[in-house]
């Protein structure tokens, strides 16, 4: 996948996201992300600063602790020296030496802390104080060791005179002054660092709370915008549902009206055919019958006088009988009076069985019970479908086996007519396909469906679904 394809894919994804969420919501979300990133960066910097300040405060506390330990060690060393001068107990000399060593270690530790990157004591003034402190410690140490050495050499009076001199007191006072100065500086540094840390913590908390409030406000704005858009979409969805329902109702109404009009049209056609059939039967039938009676009377009157005329009249009588028979067939095709006479189901059965007997078909017939009642027009439509299909099978199919199955289920009448004849090419126009088109139009006009399956030398199958309730 190349870069252009990836770019197009990301562009399409972005456009889809904008379309789904809306530009305003995305802008608010983007601003929230930027604010969150900035807040994280500043918060991290403040946390690092607080951690650094904590380290400095801990360093100052260690400085204070070491200075206090230094003062304590020197006091203990002086106490051990004075005790030895009074009692000459050797263990006090050991104690003196231990405390002097401890004081020197504390001095070195203070120097190490001073040279550390985290030390709070910085500058030449602090360094000079530390040097003065070290010098005062060594001077006091020399004075105390001198007194101890004099005692150990048996010069106790000289040792007492050394102690009584002011030099030791002065050195001790300097040491305490220097150490106190350093302690005061460390306490001041500690107070400043703690104050600075407290300010940093306050600023961090204010920034976090402010950021949280701003993010909360942005989230509320996003939620309000989403709720507004959801309500708008819901309103549009409801409006669309109402429009769809109205259109569906209109379609159903129009469809029902079209089916009703189609059914009314079929009824009008059947009534017109019935009237035409009745007129042909009554008027033309009476005329043909009267003509036949007149010809019969004429034949009787002239049969002995002119045999040639009689022969001509007999021939005319045969033509007239053919005309009467054709008239009866036309009348029957226009409106099958047998339906009115014996009922739909017996008439349909009679039509199918007569066609099978006339064409010598092997018949497979399944019809519903005669107790099922159909509207007159629907019955005539079903009758016409069966009649037209069987006429096509009789004229064009050359079939030997025909099956007619009819089932009435779920407000629909299902009709299947199949033969094993020569079939028909449905893509070519012929008399058979013209009749099939009439069947399809007649059924589809009332909301039914017709499926026809056939091809040359493959037989013929017609499946019709006729609604019994509109």
pLDDT tens sequence across 366-417? 988 878 888 887 888 888 888 888 888 888 888 899 999 999 888 888 999 9
Give dist(CA 107, CA 61) in Å, integer: 16
Q: What's the whole-number mean pLDDT along residues 432-438?
A: 68
pLDDT tens sequence across 314-361? 788 788 888 877 777 776 666 676 777 788 888 888 889 988 998 999
pLDDT tens sequence across 206-227? 878 888 888 788 778 777 877 7
Q: Starting at the edge strand that comes first in sequence, how are the strands of the sheet with 460-467 ordered?
A: 362-366, 401-409, 412-419, 460-467, 449-454
158 against 344, higher pLDDT: 344
Query: Cα–chain-centroid distance for residue 46?
Result: 42
Helix or strand (DSSP H, E) at 280: none
Nearest to residue 183, comparing CAs of 224, 133, 252? 133
- What was the pLDDT predicted at 294? 80
Architecture of the structural domain at 16-231: Up-down Bundle (1.20)
- What was the pLDDT predicted at 405? 92
Strand partners, 462: 417, 452
pLDDT tens sequence across 53-76? 788 888 878 878 887 887 787 778
| Tokens encoding 323 | 């005309």
Does residue 132 contact residue 178 with C-beta atoms inside 8 Å?
yes
Range(s) within the chain of domains with CATH label 3.30.565.10:
341-470
- What was the pLDDT predicted at 364? 92
pLDDT > 60? residue 443: yes
Return the C-alpha torsion angle 153, 158, 164, 169, nearest 10. Answer: -50
Distances (CA, A) of 131 to 70, 126, 136: 14, 9, 9
Percent of the chain with pLDDT over 70: 79
- What was the pLDDT predicted at 16? 58
pLDDT > 60? residue 117: no
- What was the pLDDT predicted at 417? 92
Q: Which pLDDT band holds residue 120 (cuts at 50, 70, 90)?
A: very low
pLDDT > 90? residue 261: no
Q: Is 88 left (phi over 0), alpha (psi -120 to 50) or beta?
A: left
Does residue 218 contact residue 32 with C-beta atoms inside 8 Å?
yes
pLDDT > 70? residue 277: no
Sign, CA dihedral 401-402-407-411, equals positive
399 against 185, higher pLDDT: 399
CB neighbour list of residue 460: distance below 8 Å, 6 or more residues apart:
392, 393, 397, 399, 417, 418, 419, 421, 423, 424, 452, 453, 454
DSSP E strands, 308-448: 362-366, 401-409, 412-419
Range(s) within the chain of domains with CATH label 1.20.1440.210:
16-231
DSSP string, 180-238: HHHHHHHHHHHHHHHHHHHHHHHHHHHHHHHHHHHHHHHHHHHHHHHHHHHHHHHHHHH
Minimum mean pLDDT among 77-81, 161-165, 173-177, 290-294: which range?
161-165
Architecture of the structural domain at 341-470: 2-Layer Sandwich (3.30)
DSSP E strands, 313-442: 362-366, 401-409, 412-419
- What was the pLDDT predicted at 276? 75
Q: What's the whole-number mean pLDDT along residues 441-465?
A: 87
Side-chain half-sphere of 381: how many Cα atoms within 13 Å? Answer: 33
| DSSP character at residue 395 | I
Sign, CA dihedral 293-297-298-299, equals positive
Sign, CA dihedral 33-34-35-37, equals positive
Give dist(CA 415, CA 386) in Å, integer: 9
Percent of the chain with pLDDT over 90: 4
- What was the pLDDT predicted at 246? 86
Q: Which pLDDT band holds residue 165 (cuts at 50, 70, 90)?
A: low
Give pTM, 2 decimals: 0.47
Among 4-13, 139-148, 178-187, 423-432, the range with the most confident prediction by mean pLDDT is 178-187
Helix 90-115 vs helix 23-87: angle between axes, to the nearest 10 degrees?
150
Nearest to residue 71, comparing CAs of 177, 190, 148? 177
Give dist(CA 239, CA 119) in Å, integer: 74
């Amino acid at each position: 996948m190349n870069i252009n394809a990836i770019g197009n894919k990301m562009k399409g994804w972005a456009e889809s996201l904008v379309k789904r969420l809306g530009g305003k919501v995305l802008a608010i979300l983007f601003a929230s992300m930027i604010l969150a990133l900035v807040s994280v960066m500043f918060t991290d910097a403040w946390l690092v600063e607080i951690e650094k300040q904590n380290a400095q405060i801990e360093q100052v506390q260690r400085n204070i602790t070491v200075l206090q330990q230094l003062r304590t060690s020197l006091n203990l060393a002086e106490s051990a020296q004075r005790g030895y001068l009074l009692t000459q107990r050797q263990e006090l000399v050991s104690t003196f030496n231990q405390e002097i060593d401890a004081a020197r270690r504390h001095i070195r530790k203070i120097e190490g802390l001073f040279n550390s990157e985290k030390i709070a004591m910085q500058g030449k003034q602090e360094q000079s104080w530390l040097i003065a402190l070290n010098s005062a410690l060594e001077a006091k140490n020399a004075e105390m060791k001198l007194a101890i050495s004099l005692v150990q050499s048996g010069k106790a009076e000289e040792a007492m005179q050394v102690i009584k001199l002011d030099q030791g007191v002065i050195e001790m006072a300097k040491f305490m002054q220097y150490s106190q100065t350093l302690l005061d500086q460390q306490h001041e540094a500690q107070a400043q660092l703690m104050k600075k840390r407290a300010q940093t913590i306050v600023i961090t908390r204010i920034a976090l709370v402010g950021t949280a409030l701003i993010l909360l406000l942005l989230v509320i704005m996003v939620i309000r915008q989403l709720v507004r858009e959801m309500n708008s979409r819901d309103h549009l969805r409801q409006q669309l549902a109402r429009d769809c329902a109205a259109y569906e109702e209109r379609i159903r109404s129009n469809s029902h009206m079209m089916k009703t009009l189609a059914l009314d049209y079929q009824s009008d056609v059947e009534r017109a055919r019935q009237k035409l059939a009745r007129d042909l039967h009554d008027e033309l039938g009476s005329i043909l019958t009267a003509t036949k009676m007149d010809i019969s009377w004429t034949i009787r009157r002239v049969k002995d006088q002119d045999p040639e005329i009689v022969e001509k009249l007999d021939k005319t009588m045969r033509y007239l009988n053919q005309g009467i028979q054709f008239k009866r067939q036309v009348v029957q095709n226009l409106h099958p009076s047998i339906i009115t006479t014996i009922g739909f189901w017996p008439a349909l059965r009679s039509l199918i069985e007569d066609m099978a007997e006339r064409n010598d078909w092997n018949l497979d017939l399944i019809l519903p019970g005669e107790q099922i009642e159909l509207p007159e027009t629907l019955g005539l439509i079903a009758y016409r479908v069966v009649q037209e299909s069987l006429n096509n099978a009789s004229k064009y199919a050359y079939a030997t086996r025909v099956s007619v199955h009819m089932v009435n289920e779920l407000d629909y009448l299902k009709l299947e007519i199949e033969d094993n004849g020569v079939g028909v090419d449905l893509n070519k126009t012929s008399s058979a396909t013209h009749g099939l088109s009439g069947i399809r139009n007649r059924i589809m006009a009332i909301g039914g469906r017709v499926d026809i399956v056939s091809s040359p030398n493959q037989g013929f199958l017609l499946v019709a679904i006729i609604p019994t309730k509109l």
